Amino acid sequence: MNVTLVQGDISEQRADAIVNAANSSLLGGGGVDGAIHRRGGPEILEECRRLRAGHYGKGLPTGRAVATTAGLLPARWVIHTVGPVYSRSQDRSELLASCHQESLRVADELGARTVAFPAISTGVYGWPLDDAARIAVAAVRAAGTSVEEVRFVLFDTAAYEVFLARISR
């Protein structure tokens, strides 16, 4: 598998699947989640509502992933995952790694070959960038997956540089 990096907006990525840094409600939010729903149009939210009415009545648990249509986005699917909120007192690294592993498992089920990830949990959820990059890169590299390209999409130069340093190690 190739791990690649770009600086940009995840909602503009051409990929088989893009990953959403969602919350358990699956009903939208700010940051990546806001950009995806805004550009992707109402179809994504409609499918999220159906998921909530069915199998995910209590919401999507942290560390898990589920796919919907990508609506108007230049991707085929959105894979929604819920990152952990960063905690100084509790190690939640396994949950952050799980977001990446579960997203790739769902991608395999869909037959996706290219998957774009944002820096999950590093915005509103407060995870320090370098530590999140370490966990994310290790998790995707360790995943047994048929996905051929994992593309990390970083919003700004600082985040891009941090991920670049990580994948170069």
Residues 35, 29: Cα–Cα separation, whole Å: 9
Pick 22 or 112: Cβ nearer ligand AR6? 22
* Structure tokens given for 101: 């592993």
DSSP class of 86: P
Residue tagged active-site, from 33, 91, 108, 130: 33
Pick 5 or 10: Cβ nearer ligand AR6? 10
Pick 13 or 144: Cβ nearer ligand AR6? 13
Q: How many CB atoms lie within 10 A of CB 50?
A: 13
Asked if residue 21 binds ligand AR6 (CB under 6 A), the reply is: yes
Among positions 81-100, residues that touch ligand AR6 (CB under 6 A) are: 83
Is residue 33 part of the annotated active site? The answer reads yes
**What is the contact mask toward ligand AR6 in residues 105 to 144, using x (rule: CB under 6 A)?**
-------------xxxxxxxx-------------------
β-partners of residue 78 are: 18, 68
Residues 5, 15, 18, 35: which binds ligand AR6 (CB under 6 A)? 35
Residues 118, 135: Cα–Cα separation, whole Å: 13
Computed on alpha carbons and rounded to an integer, the radius of gyration of the chain in Å comes to 14
141 three-class SS: helix
Binding site for ligand AR6 (CB under 6 A): 9-11, 21-23, 29-33, 35, 83, 118-125, 153, 155, 159
